[in-house]
Structure 1
Amino acid sequence: MSDNKAFEASINNATLEILKSLAGNMDKACLVVERTAKQDCPVNYGALRADIHHEVDFGLDAIVGTVGNSLEYAPFVHNGTGIYAKGRGRKTPWRFKVASGKYKGWHTTRGQKPKPYLENAKMKNKDQIARILAGD
């Protein structure tokens, strides 16, 4: 009976190289989306744009690329607030008071319109993402 250990090792090494290559393609695709999201992200002080990042996790069953923000207010900018929020926003205008400073006094708001810079970045690059993931 012949020894197949060398053959099995070569198959395992080839599988690992293929997974590494696919993870590299996912990383490239995420970078494309990240770059476009940073270009389209609304900027006040720049913290939201600076926080856009990506990560790629891979195992034997899946390779997952994620582009996003970790700032607490990022979902409110992306999805909107108040009457403009998708699904769960407040349905009526509301008032709030600023105690001091440039905006001191009472203000009425209906919320903030969504600025879906991450979703838009994904959709703008859909064809390029497909080419990258295919290895072209």
Structure 2
Amino acid sequence: MSIEFDGLNEVLDSIDNIADIDKLNRALTKTCLVVEAAAKQKAPKGNGELRRSITSKVEDLEGVVFTPLEYAPYVEYGTGLFAENGGRQAVPWKYKDDEGIWHSTSGMRPHPYMRPALEENREKILTVIKEGLGE
């Protein structure tokens, strides 16, 4: 998923004039931590695995908030009949869990947690980045 900000080109153009890249990296780290904390609060509780897996990193002036869990996108976007952009329509389907028990499902409703965490903090992110640029 990629998010675009109005005025981002001007911000990127001004990066050439920044003497302190470390200051900008600190600002990016701060913004990632804001989104990471919000995503952890918004993620379904369940057994806590998804919440604990949400993390962030900053490399080469790029901040990323992510989870390495394979099932995380299914939670965010839903599955089957309930998937946001269309999913499996041949329902119900059966699957075996880790204990060998069979289940039947028509899908799972989406529970967005990453996108709202970013969207709800958009203004804060812009403010912190601008401060990091010395504006």
Q: Name the TM tier (shorter chain).
A: 0.7 to 0.9
List gaps (5 residues or longer) in structure 1. Answer: 1-13
Identity level (%): 34
Give the Cα–Cα distance (whole angstroms) in 1 for the partners of residues 116 and 82 of structure 2. 17
List gaps (5 residues or longer) in structure 2. Answer: 1-16
Which residue type is aligned with residue 65 of structure 1?
G
| Aligned-pair CA distance for 1:87 | 2.5
Give the Cα–Cα distance (whole angstroms) in 2 for the partners of residues 121 and 45 of structure 1. 20
Give the Cα–Cα distance (whole angstroms) in 1 for the partners of residues 63 and 85 of structure 2. 26
TM-score (norm 2): 0.75
Give the Cα–Cα distance (whole angstroms) in 2 for the partners of residues 15 and 34 of structure 1. 26
Q: Secondary structure at the match of 1:133?
A: helix
CA RMSD of aligned residues (A): 2.5
| Aligned-pair CA distance for 1:109 | 2.1
The question of 1:128 aligning with 2:130 is answered no
TM-score (norm 1): 0.74
More helix per residue: 1
Q: 1:19-34 to 2 correspondence within 5 Å?
A: 19-34=21-36
- Cross-structure match for 1:48: 50
Give the Cα–Cα distance (whole angstroms) in 1 for the partners of residues 58 and 19 of structure 2. 16
Aligned length: 116
